[in-house]
Amino acid sequence: MIKTALALSTLLLISGCAQNSNTAASGAPGSGTSTEQSEPHHQMTDQWVGRWIGVEGLFLEISKDEPAGPGHYRLHMRYGLDADQIGTFEGQATAEGIRFNRGDGPQLLRAGDGEATGMKWLLEKEDCLIVATGEGYCRD
């Protein structure tokens, strides 16, 4: 009798855990999915869509990734002078900016000014996006 009760209790616990993880994975409201978290932030990052210019031929082109939904972007960029430092990457809006991954690891694209880029050629610019000190793109 005790063994049967323990077995039933264990099955109930396991099935309860499985239901909770399935609910979270399903994208149900309140489940904390990445889409839910990005929606309020895409209003700011939607304003970044378009072409941004760096130094020495570097550039960043941001477009909305419509099939992926609000807050998702395609980032086409030349981010270095080497031949392999160009590509298109998927990005997602966050409270801090747009998160994306490329060959040199996870990155965060955030708003700033020319001074924040750390590059003297962009010092006077006011509307810029920065990946890291020494990598920034600005609009006139």
Question: Residue 22's pLDDT is what?
Answer: 35
Question: Residue 106's pLDDT is what?
Answer: 98
Q: Is the pLDDT of residue 126 over 90?
A: yes
Contact criterion met (CB below 8 Å) for 50 and 73: no
111 bridge partner residues: 129
The model's pTM is 0.71
SS3 of residue 65 by DSSP: coil
